[in-house]
Amino acid sequence: MTAMPDLRLGFSGSYAPEDVCFLLKPLPAAFVPVADKERRIQSGQAHYSEMLSVEPAPSAAYVALYEAALARHGPRLAGHVNQLAASLIDHWQGAGARDRVIVSLLRAGTPIGVLLARRLRRLGHAVAHYSISIIRDRGIDRNALATIVQRHGRHGLVFVDGWTGKGSIAGELRGPRGPAAMGVAPVLAVIADPAGRADLAATPEDYVIPSGILNGTISGLVSRSVLNAAIGPDDFHGCVLLDHLAPADRSRSFVDHVAALGDALPIELPAGWNPSMRPALADACDRLIAAIMQQHGVTDRNRIKPGIAEATRALLRRVPDRLLLRDSDDPDVAHLLQLAQGQGVPIGPLPPDCPFRAATIIASLGGE
């Protein structure tokens, strides 16, 4: 069993201690069946952050799809990490910060934060990396953020996620429950920004970021964050340590592999994203969400999960109604097809010109 960490210092999960400091409160494992969780969320009986469902180990067939995605897109991701690291250096040089700090947003941001920190250190830049919780409709973990500010000041923090979907987390980051309320600029950096919501990004394209198709086994064996009655006013947001998944863990091997690929690439790489793209991307994203809602009779936009990674997560841990694909023959959605077919989830089309290659609609269980 993993030793309970010293909460005053944080912990690193299954990563090396120098890779990341999780600021979270480990909780005893308490799980709710997926269907029960979905009913409670949609009925308003509970917020999604109050409950976790058991996270099973991925099957051998699914791990094979992950390995194929890593072989196919690992070099691409490595190049995007290098591009984003260069953008962070430029940002920090203009910020006049005392310290340079990556604050990755649990969990999708965590492996990307590890990769960015490794790349920046490889280039000779001192950087700290923390991973903290941000929850839709609840905001950022103010206690965790206050701890970081106390250690490093307010001006060198950049918030890192893997990608943008509808922009819900970007909106939370910039809203009244975000870091600006504590005097910290809500600068968001992501690998892929198909929704046009990031401040810094490497690409606008929705593609298979390999870490996006796994959950705890690619994120340091840490669960999604929890905010319920077990969390006191002075606590960090909570989590469960996923010790039962240790034999399937890919957290270290993934970052080791991608970091090595990045070290072999040229230092200067062409930029694939720039801020001028954001308005058109955001408009296309909003129009797609509105079209899906109208076509499928959805009144709660939170039931729509656009993008390959978000569609994957919905199929893995929610009750899906249907999977929508831009091109079902696209090899990048093979894992989605396997998940959907394994659960008997219907598959429908997305418009060929939409910015996302996939979307999952969460089933309505009577709460909408």
Question: What are the chain's domains?
Answer: 21-263 (no CATH), 277-362 (3.30.1330.30)
- Whether 114 has a pLDDT exceeding 50, the answer reads yes
Say what the pLDDT of residue 56 is: 92
Q: Is the pLDDT of residue 5 over 60?
A: no
Cβ atoms of residues 99 and 128 within 8 Å: yes
Per-residue pLDDT tens over the stretch 47-73: 899 999 999 999 998 999 899 999 999
Residue 98 confidence (pLDDT): 79
Pairing of strands 320-325, 347-349: parallel
Q: What is the CA radius of gyration of the chain?
A: 19
Determine the pLDDT at residue 2: 45
Q: By the 8 A CB rule, do 347 and 299 touch?
A: no
Decide if pLDDT at 43 tops 80: yes
Cα 168 to Cα 188: distance, rounded to the nearest angstrom: 12
Straight-line distance from the first to the last Cα atom of the chain, in angstroms, rounded to the nearest whole number: 41
Quick: pLDDT tens for 239-292.
999 999 999 999 999 999 999 999 998 766 667 899 999 999 999 999 999 999
What are the tens digits of pLDDT across the range 314-357? 998 889 999 999 999 999 999 999 999 999 999 999 999 899 99
What is the rounded CA–CA span in Å between residue 184 and residue 107? 21
Strand 320-325: give its sheet, edge to edge. Answer: 304-306, 358-362, 320-325, 347-349
Q: What is the pLDDT of residues 168-227, one digit of tens each?
A: 899 999 999 999 999 999 999 999 999 999 999 999 999 999 999 999 999 999 999 999
326 touches 354 (CB < 8 A): yes
Q: Residue 158: pLDDT above 60? A: yes
Residue 8: which pLDDT band, with cuts at 50, 70 and 90? low
Q: Over the stretch 126-135, which tens digit does the pLDDT of each residue have?
A: 999 999 999 9
The mean of the pLDDT values for the chain is 92
Q: Would you say residue 368 has pLDDT above 70? A: no
Can you tell me the distance from the alpha carbon of 338 to that of 147, in angstroms, rounded to the nearest whole number? Answer: 42
Say if CB 182 and CB 145 are below 8 A apart.
yes
Per-residue pLDDT at 272:
84
Contact 111, 219 (CB under 8 A): yes
Q: What is the pLDDT of residue 268?
A: 63
Closest by CA position to 187, among listed 118, 107, 87: 87
The pLDDT value given to residue 175:
94
Give the pLDDT of residue 267.
66
Q: Tokens 């939409």 appear where?
A: 354
Query: Do the beta carbons of residue 151 and residue 129 sit within 8 Å?
Result: no
